[in-house]
Structure 1
Amino acid sequence: MSKPRVVLVGPMGAGKSTVARRLGAHWGLPVRDTDQDIEATAGKPVSEIFVDEGEEHFRALEVEAVRAALEGHDGVLALGGGAVLAEATQQALEGHTVVYLEVGLADAVKRVGLGHGRPLLLGNVRARVMKLLEERAPIYDAVATITVDTNGRTPDDVAAEVIRRVEETA
């Protein structure tokens, strides 16, 4: 069974996908994003799954996508922002190198913009992001083996810190 070199978790706007690509390039490893896996399986974007089948259906697909990726991917893995909500996923992350890309409200809102294509941000984007950050931060903290603050930093700077800290603990 292969195991990811590193698993990135954090809220939308933390830069998981962007940092994952930089880590993959640095280590010469494949990069996988569970949201993309879900879209490929479902044949439609995450936002359409939410609209057509609902969040509960999406979360079930997400648990399966994370399980499959943790068992079958030996590169860099980025999880969707809400993936850690499932207890099954929290348990599956045990024993993995999990990096929590922490982001504050101001940076998260700037990075997600108006939230187009992000079904959980319908309505007041700033209020929704704040609520998601408050609800999920303790879970990200709990599953993480490493936490990296992304506030006011470039993706290259964040990736460099992740690389340094992952290699220190290897």
Structure 2
Amino acid sequence: MTPKLILTGFMATGKSSVGPMVARRLGWEFVDVDHVIVARAGKPVARIFADHGEAHFRHLEREAVAHLTSDQRRCPHCHGPHPEVISTGGGALVDDSNCAALKRVGVIVCLTARPEVIAARVERSKTKRPKLTEGGKPTLERVKELMRERADAYARADVQVDSSDLTVEQLTDHVIAAFGAHAARRVLPPA
């Protein structure tokens, strides 16, 4: 089985909630790319956007992904590559180098949800979403716009799982099943 499960997808699709649960169930380490960026920058993502702009954030994101995907640690049990669940930010796959690096080390599972569900989740959340405030548009309109912009990037994921109508526990089950099925196909020799 591949050593890394990469969770990606649009904001408010469940990456931060389900990532730690998936990692716990698999007995793997969980790493959130945004947390790596925040630790390195010494400030929250919203502050990085406000102080330095999106281009600087994307540069930091590229560095974090490159660091995580070049990890040479070995699993103490099987001696293969160190197993991890890596959660990326919503725009990480837009960058070709991020996508290539992540595909090289694992299976990319893209979480999706209907725009209306995402807008409702975002409006209930206290988390600041810098990309949603651009243009001063209503939340649902901006969500749809960003989803259209990122559709091609998300289509590059190995598998997609819709979180719209699932509990976190159900989503965890679906993610692990989709990952397992894809990982098995990926490492099996052709018939």
TM value normalised by structure 1? 0.91
Aligned match of 1:23: 22
Structure 2 unaligned segments of length 5 or more: list them: 72-81, 185-191
Q: 1:127 aligns with which of 141, 157, 162?
A: 141
CA–CA separation in structure 1 for the residues paired with 2:143 and 2:124: 11
CA contact (8 A) 2:65 2:102 kept: no
CA–CA separation in structure 2 for the residues paired with 1:4 and 1:118: 31
Count of aligned positions = 167
Aligned match of 2:51: 52
Is residue 86 from structure 1 mapped to residue 100 from structure 2 by the alignment? no
Is residue 105 from structure 1 mapped to residue 104 from structure 2 by the alignment? no
Opposite residue 154 of structure 1, the aligned amino acid is: T
Q: 1:108: Cα distance to partner?
A: 0.7
CA–CA separation in structure 2 for the residues paired with 1:4 and 1:119: 32
Aligned match of 1:118: 129
Where in structure 2 are the equivalents of 1:133-148 lying within 5 Å? Answer: 133-142=147-156, 144-148=157-161
Identity of aligned residues (%): 37
CA contact (8 A) 2:36 2:64 kept: yes
Q: 1:94: Cα distance to partner?
A: 2.6
CA contact (8 A) 2:31 2:84 kept: yes
Structure 1 unaligned segments of length 5 or more: list them: none
Q: 1:114: Cα distance to partner?
A: 6.2
CA–CA separation in structure 2 for the residues paired with 1:125 and 1:15: 18
Q: 1:4: Cα distance to partner?
A: 4.7
Opposite residue 149 of structure 1, the aligned amino acid is: D
Structure showing greater Rg: 2
Q: 1:101: Cα distance to partner?
A: 0.6
CA contact (8 A) 1:85 1:139 kept: yes
Is residue 74 from structure 1 mapped to residue 83 from structure 2 by the alignment? yes
CA–CA separation in structure 1 for the residues paired with 2:96 and 2:166: 31
